[in-house]
Structure 1
Amino acid sequence: MSRTWNQYVVKQENKTLVLTTVMNHTPISRANVAKITGLNKGTVSSLVSELIDEKLVEESGPGKSSGGRRPVMLLFNGNAGYSISIELGVGYILGVITDLNGQIIEQDTIQLQTTHFNTIFPIMINLIKGLMEQVPKSRYGVIGIGVGVPAVVSRDGEILLAPNLNWKNVELKTKLENIFNLPVYIENEANAGAYGEMRYGSSQNSHHTIFASIGIGIGVGMILDGKLYHGLNGFAGELGHMTIEKDGKTCRCGNRGCWELYASEQAVIDMAIKRGLIAADQGEPFEQLIQLANEENQAVIELFEEIATYIAIGLTNCINIFNPEHVIIGNRLMRAKEWIYPTIESYILEHAIGFHQNKLKIDSAKLGVYSTISGMAAFTIEGFLLDQKRNHA
């Protein structure tokens, strides 16, 4: 009995290896799958046949010949199912449909005028339902729902604390699963952003990445040794709340002088209003600042440069602590990249410890505003593929 079980486990591991190889190298021949995996050709052929029956792999036209018959190429079937991914920001909800390759098929954005959970939750439900109605027909349909939130999230998907939303102890995963009867994944939005950039963006070849999500607040996701770092209890990355100003401004988290109070989108807006650069009650304040900077308003440009210095102070601390090879700055503040990026780069060059700068790259997010969404899609897709493995065990 033990031998039979062990044989089956080995088969499932090999099947997952074959599927992963096809996903990462599509289009690919059976012979090359065998070469990459080290499995014999008969085993590969048998496992590929099963994956074709399960609609996860499909055959395409013949590839190039290396001397004999032209090989039939294998493709990962990204249209076998679709995920729903949600980014819950402060003032907006972004929702998308992605295929199993993480490609965005449809999207919708809703602006929010409140942070109250009892108002936002029904809006989120309606957004998800609306996206589900647009999902193309497929073998597996909607495979799951992923939600990125600017919050401390437990391993069980409970939102323990979201300071900028004023949420505490919200069992979001349970609530969504009860409504949709689908797998639900809840993650801190910066962690999701870091993972999205690693899977689909500018950090695919990096094993040590710091992703700073700078919006109304600041969150940091960390890829260390090629894996998303969660810390002991899953709460790592709350670096937006590290103190950079002794006896500074009071933060909603209960601390004083937090980094995000001086370096976030909200910090820019607050300082601009205080200095009379924009009016608080006239349209979107950050869009006003972008417009003024485009018109070469020197006071606004200097404000962006000032904020950029505070961003760079926090990033320099991260660099000196974690010694990453890649620092990525994402989220909505990077709409002002033209005016903030040069200051960030020059400050880090001047202040980060020299040997930490060896082979260090500093980039804006390749995926733009979709880093978090893409990360949540990746979590959902990987969870689905893992479930497929379990279901056949």
Structure 2
Amino acid sequence: MLERLFKLREHATSVRTEAIAGFTTFLTMSYIIFVNPDILSSTGMDRNAVFVATCLAAALGSLIMALLANWPIGMAPGMGLNAFFAFTVVGAMGYTWQQALGAVFISGIIFLILTVTKVRSWLIAGIPRSLRSAIAAGIGLFLAIIALSSAGIVVDHPATKVTLGDLREPGPLLAILGFFLIAALDAMRVRGAILIGILAITALSMLLGLTQFQGVFSAPPSLAPTFMQLDIMGVLQTGFLHVILVFVLVEVFDATGTLIGVAKRAGLVDDKQPARLGRPLLADSSAIVAGSMLGTSSTTAYVESASGVQAGGRTGLTALVVALLFLAALFVSPLAASVPAYATAPALLYVAGLMMRELIDIDWNDVTEATPAALTALAMPFTYSIANGLAFGFISYVVLKAATGRARQVHPAMWLVAGLFVVRYAFFPE
């Protein structure tokens, strides 16, 4: 049955190799079951329900990827968009988390339509490489400011806006220790370094009496507080236009970039086979729609899947193993509830640092490429919004190219997206 489903011999792999690869991928991405509830619960969502939704969305997304695309790629709620969901859409803009889930649902439907109609290819082709790199780096900076503030390392200040927190407090000290532990383990190529770091700081916090041990295993909590709670009608208003636009753009870029990168490493695509992205992207967009119904932010392909590919994963059986392990993780909800914010903050900060390496792909010698890219990355943390960063970048790119006589270099997709952002700021201010 497994041979028929996943064509193991054709991909020169075995059940044992795929199982090891799936376990490896799960270890490297399982930190999301602790980080995602921590972020989304800040909106007022039930933390235990978000934990269940995270595990189920990851399991369902990975299962769809396994059976529909037969690719060794794990899926789960994505870093960056969960922060945008919680801290921008709900926290800064004041919308309800139910409306935010509605926006995720609609963005997933749009992503699905873009994938089926091939418009996605047109959109991706139109976004310059410099901006795509800047978007990833900017989201990294956004995650960094969230991580540093949740750990108490950076605090607000009336005169300087931000300043250094009290590093003698237990929270910042443990967060710093966790960051160094994760970085050191990852440098030594220890699988599951981020997960180990989170669990180690949680255990140390318990030993010091800062948090209470609530156990490890139990029956899964109820999903009812978040299941089908999305407010779709509340999203159908003009103010949500740019929110949905941001969800769609980041989902498309993140999914496409991750899938191409991991699939190339696995030898599943090359420059002559771009069409093979169709089914994986269909799986990605379907998972977003399903995740919003369960009660979590956008689900996406995880770049950590490269670790499983490195371990030999070549087929959807790897993703199936990831799905089964996320289902098993449903039974560790007491442990997830015991994890303090300063234990997940180092994971956020470390992931942020990894995303910053995208800056190397920006053409810093061309001002019309470098300036929009820099504005994109800088605006995200300084305006506390991924949406504003995208707007600054897209609009400035079009303006600078036109002003320097290079308007013909601007793809129609850039004009369209930049125009939508201008309309949003001109006629629908917050």
Structure-1-length-normalised TM-score: 0.23
Rg larger in structure:
1
Structure number with the bigger relative contact order (C-alpha 8 A, sep ≥ 6) is: 2
Greater percentage in helix: 2
* TM-score relative to the length of structure 2: 0.22
